[in-house]
Amino acid sequence: GCFYCHDITISGSLGGPSLNKIGNKTSAKWLFNWLKNPRSYHPTTTMPSPAQLLSEKETLALVCDQIEI
């Protein structure tokens, strides 16, 4: 999952940036699209495409968990 490479503290973990307050730093649309295809935003990213393993509904649920509505 996300927390293999990321954590929710300020420091980050295993190379991935911290996801602390990620919902305050991005929009729901951006986060959803990033999860669907991170290389469309950053072609050399090491971020895998978790959404390839998740349904649209599961990806949206991840986004909603991070974005304050």
Task: Give the pLDDT confidence score for residue 8 in this predicted structure.
Answer: 63
Would you give the end-to-end CA distance of the chain in angstroms?
Answer: 23
Using one digit for the tens of pLDDT, what is the confidence trace for 4-59?
777 766 654 567 777 777 888 888 899 888 888 899 988 998 888 876 778 888 88
d(CA 4, CA 42) in angstroms, rounded, equals 20
Say whether pTM exceeds 0.85.
no
